[in-house]
Each structure stands twice: as structure tokens, then as C-alpha cells.
Structure 1
């Protein structure tokens, strides 16, 4: 196997024209350079230099090897540089999947905190519902960690090797248009609520399925005037007087004027907010994510 040090020395001898000059450039004696070239000749089985009492002349084989050696040395240096860069903190990354409300009201703030900026790492974010995000945590998948929710007892099928940690409970609030004349925190009876038009979450989602069941158990069969997969849009529609809705507390963080949260004891529902991560995720970055987002949720 060829010695890279010997190839580097050969390239300098050919560039500078003598053993002495190459030795001065590399920090070797002329004798040490000569010994390296002799070792290279033995390893390759080729005569690289014609030596005389007055000079040392490279052969055609040496010139050809020197050209290839330069290319090989550049490639090796590129590989070493890439390897070093991959271990620098600034080049580390954490790939996170997150549902929209958590991206807006939790993750965005966490990215600005010292808990994350102090890591020197980059976060690559994919926004989607849990059903779309969770498969990315499988071994060799495109995600390291995820922030997800679970509504009621609806199950999340986790890939093998994924760890789950509870972060917070997120209670649903019943919201109605302020224009309907109700006050914040007012108790509303089921009859009046059932007579209102409703904005519900998109059909087929776990949210919509569970909310439908809660309403049905309370004897409410809503007249649906809109379906939305974005709670911000839902709140805007409520503010515009379009109907009532059930919205998680987290999504209420930036509710617009014109939305009133009322008390309806018969309608109790919450969702669990959780962090998930794969077994090969960078442990220190996951710890920052879980602790930081958990703190933000505890004060929201």
C-alpha cells in the first residue's frame, strides 16, 4: 500500500526540482527525502529517479506518478475536510417533525431561545399532522424527533425503537363569536350551543372524529358550515361570526378579536402533547428540544 507521506514528498520534489529544496519545504533533511523516494521505488517496483554524483533526475514514471499523486492528495484532503466539518457543532443538525400549532406557538419560540442557539446546531423542520410525521422516525428515516399530539384514546402506531415522552395536556375550548352577545367564561347551555352553526376540523382527522363523538354524546348534532384543517383559520371564521367551534388551548395563543371562550361542562376533551425520538437521534440535541419545548408549554 502506498504511503501518502511519500507521495506528498514526491510531489514536492517534482515541483521544486531537488531533494534538498523539497526537504526544506517539508521539514526533512535531503537524506530523509532520498530514503522516502527509495522506499516509494520499492513499493511501486518502478525506478523514479536517475541518481548521479552531481544530480538526481526524475524518470517519466516519476512524472506520471506525480501527476496522479497530486490528484489523489487533493481528494484525500477533501475527504478529511468533509469529515472534520461533519464533527463541528455548527454543522450538526436535528431533523424535527411537528404539527402546525406546535410549530407556530412552541417550536418557533424555542428556536430563538438560548437553549437552542447555544447548541450551535441547525434544525431541519417538517410540518405535518402526526399521522404524516411519525413514519419518518423509522430506522433510517428522514426524522430524528417529532412533536405530536394524541386526541382521546386514538392510537399512534410508533416505529420500533422510538421513545415517547409526555410534554403537556392541551384542553379544548369551546369558542363562539363575540357578536352573538356572550361574555368570556360565560356558561352556555347545550340547547343554545346546539342551535349555532359549527366550524369543525377536517373530516377524517383524529381531531374531527373525537370531537364528533363528544358532541354526539352531549346530544349535539351540529349544523356544519365549514371544515378546516387549520385552527388559525377556524378562529378567524369564528371571529367573523360564521359559527362555534372546539379549539385546543395551544391554538388559542394568538386568537383574534371577536372570539369568546365559553364554559360548557358537558363538553370536556383534551389532547396529549408528546415528544418522540428515534434511538439513533443525537441525544444532546433531543434533550434540548424536549426540555425547552416542555418549559414553553408549561407557561403557555
Structure 2
């Protein structure tokens, strides 16, 4: 009889590409993973890995068996859940990944809804940028639903078996310290922007690269006085008079006093927001969660 633990380990090895990474994920040593895979090869009489002195590579048979094993493990989990349900103690889990602004201003509302506070449902949340959320949606990954953004024409490389669900557009706003004398919605010239200090998102992130392009295209060469990956921190620095920044509308739901939005027609940038659902996610939970997202005011008003 096949060992379910060995199948679970196979799924992780195929997904992560190494015995060491799979062991770290599951709490085994690389040696223990190797032993499990050798035992699985013996039990099935199938060669699953090509081994060399420095690496192991899954064969096509390993990939095929990994897909079958994932389905078998899901079926086993469903059978256990059904048995638990018969005893009145079933708990179903929806694993959600989201970027910080959504986690702060949207997910906090959803998890308060009665549907998501029911004893039979648990929402497990991971907070991170799209670059860390998307990989978790691959088959057999650690996420069922991901909420991500795309800035400009930057692409999102999605794994197979992931569907997209449009949520809305989140325009960037140019915000400045109120102490500088600007009023809400007033006009600011490009010349003035070239003379003031700037707070930019951390270099290397997708939105930072696009913002750099947009500013350069407008002839701006910002004097950077701070780099931040936290828009709440950025807004606090603006309120303190430290500089100007481009901040998404969603991140300004609870902006502090001392921050005003100004108009600069030459600069326009929007990030597109979407929910991504893994095909092997619990369909009813993921569909209901996306519907709940669309009905939150922050998305409905976009």
C-alpha cells in the first residue's frame, strides 16, 4: 500500500524542485526526503528521479504521479472532512494571500462578516507583494486565492491552473504636505515637482520601476529623500513635511491629517486589481470570497 506521507512529500519535491526545499517545507531533513522517495520508487517500481552527485531532477513520471498524488490527497482530505462533518465538527479552510493595502482596508472588513466567522470556515491570510503571492497559487501550493495588483504594462507570470477575476482600477494620487500651502485638488506644476524632495517606493519593485518611467517621461528627476515599501509610513512622512509621493487611492483610505492631494495632469498612473483563484481551491469558498471582495465599498466605488 502506498504511504500518503510519501505522496505528500513527492508533491512538494516536484513543486519546489529539490529534496532540501521540500524537507524545509515539511519539516524533514533532505536525507529523510531522499529515503521517502527511494521507498516510493520501490513501492511503485517507477523511476521518479534522475540523481547526480549534486542534484536530483524529477522525471516525467514523477510529474505525472505528483499530479495524481495531489488529487488523491485532496480526495483523502475531503473524506476526512466529510467524516468530521458527520460528527458536527467540520472546519474548511480558505487560504488567502493579499498585498498590504487590501489586507489593511478590505480583508479586515470581510473577516468580520458572519459568513467568514462561521465555526465551519477558517480564513487563513498571508500578506505580501504580488511577487510572493502568485507562486503560492500553483497546483499544490499554499494559497487558494490571491489578491494582487498590476502596474502599467508590467506582466504577472501566472502558473497554470489559475483564473483571474477583475476587481477594479486603483489610481495613484500625488500627495504633498499641507504645510507647504497647497489645498486639496489644487494644481502643481512639473517645474515645482522638480524642486521638492520625493519619497519613492523601494527600488526594484514593479510599481517603483513603472513610477520611475512615468516620472522620467514627464521630464522629472526626483531628489529622493526616502524609500519605503509601506504606504502608511510614506503618508506619515508626507504629513511631517518630509516630501511628496505617488500613493494609490486604496492606501489613502485612512490618510493622516496634514496630507493633501494635488493635480498634475502630465502624470497619470493606475494599478489594476484582481483576484486570482487556484483551480484546485475549494470552489464554493473561493467564489463566495471573490464576490465578497467585489461588494466591499473600496472596490465597489472604483
Same fold (TM over 0.5): yes
In 1, Cα distance between equivalents of 2:119 and 2:283: 12
State the Cα distance separating 1:93 from its structure 2 match. Answer: 0.6
The structure-2 alpha-carbon separation of the partners of 1:192 and 1:259, relative to structure 1 and needing over 3 Å to count, comes to same
In 1, Cα distance between equivalents of 2:122 and 2:150: 27
- Does the 8 Å contact 2:97/2:143 carry over to 1? yes
1:231 counterpart residue number: 231
State the Cα distance separating 1:84 from its structure 2 match. Answer: 1.9
1:241 counterpart residue number: 241
The structure-2 alpha-carbon separation of the partners of 1:151 and 1:179, relative to structure 1 and needing over 3 Å to count, comes to same
Cα deviations across residues 231-271 of structure 1 (Å, max 9, x unaligned)? 11110110110000000000000100010000111110000
1:23 counterpart residue number: none
The structure-2 alpha-carbon separation of the partners of 1:263 and 1:84, relative to structure 1 and needing over 3 Å to count, comes to same
Gaps of 5+ in 1: 1-79
1:196 counterpart residue number: 196
In 1, Cα distance between equivalents of 2:135 and 2:281: 15
Cα deviations across residues 25-82 of structure 1 (Å, max 9, x unaligned)? xxxxxxxxxxxxxxxxxxxxxxxxxxxxxxxxxxxxxxxxxxxxxxxxxxxxxxx987
1:280 counterpart residue number: 280
State the Cα distance separating 1:288 from its structure 2 match. Answer: 1.6
Aligned partner of residue 159 in structure 1, secondary structure: coil
Structure 1 consecutive aligned stretches of length 4 or more whose deviation exceeds 6 Å: none
2:262 counterpart residue number: 262
Q: Highest Rg: 1 or 2?
A: 1
Cα deviations across residues 73-98 of structure 1 (Å, max 9, x unaligned)? xxxxxxx9875226768510100110
State the Cα distance separating 1:119 from its structure 2 match. Answer: 8.2
Aligned partner of residue 192 in structure 1, secondary structure: helix
- Does the 8 Å contact 1:93/1:121 carry over to 2? yes
2:213 counterpart residue number: 213
In 2, Cα distance between equivalents of 1:90 and 1:261: 49
1:97 counterpart residue number: 97
- Does the 8 Å contact 1:172/1:247 carry over to 2? yes
In 2, Cα distance between equivalents of 1:147 and 1:103: 9
State the Cα distance separating 1:299 from its structure 2 match. Answer: 3.4
In 1, Cα distance between equivalents of 2:107 and 2:208: 24
Alignment of 1:98-177 (within 5 A): 98-117=98-117, 120-177=120-177
Cα deviations across residues 79-135 of structure 1 (Å, max 9, x unaligned)? x98752267685101001100000001111111123433584101111000001100
The structure-2 alpha-carbon separation of the partners of 1:96 and 1:82, relative to structure 1 and needing over 3 Å to count, comes to closer
- Does the 8 Å contact 2:199/2:224 carry over to 1? yes
Aligned partner of residue 112 in structure 1, secondary structure: coil
State the Cα distance separating 1:294 from its structure 2 match. Answer: 1.2
- Does the 8 Å contact 1:116/1:288 carry over to 2? no
Cα deviations across residues 200-236 of structure 1 (Å, max 9, x unaligned)? 0010000100011111111110000000001111101
Aligned partner of residue 227 in structure 2, secondary structure: strand
State the Cα distance separating 1:194 from its structure 2 match. Answer: 1.6
Aligned partner of residue 84 in structure 1, secondary structure: helix
In 1, Cα distance between equivalents of 2:167 and 2:90: 28
- Does the 8 Å contact 1:200/1:246 carry over to 2? yes
The number of residues matched between the two structures is 221
Calculate the aligned-residue CA RMSD, in Å: 1.8
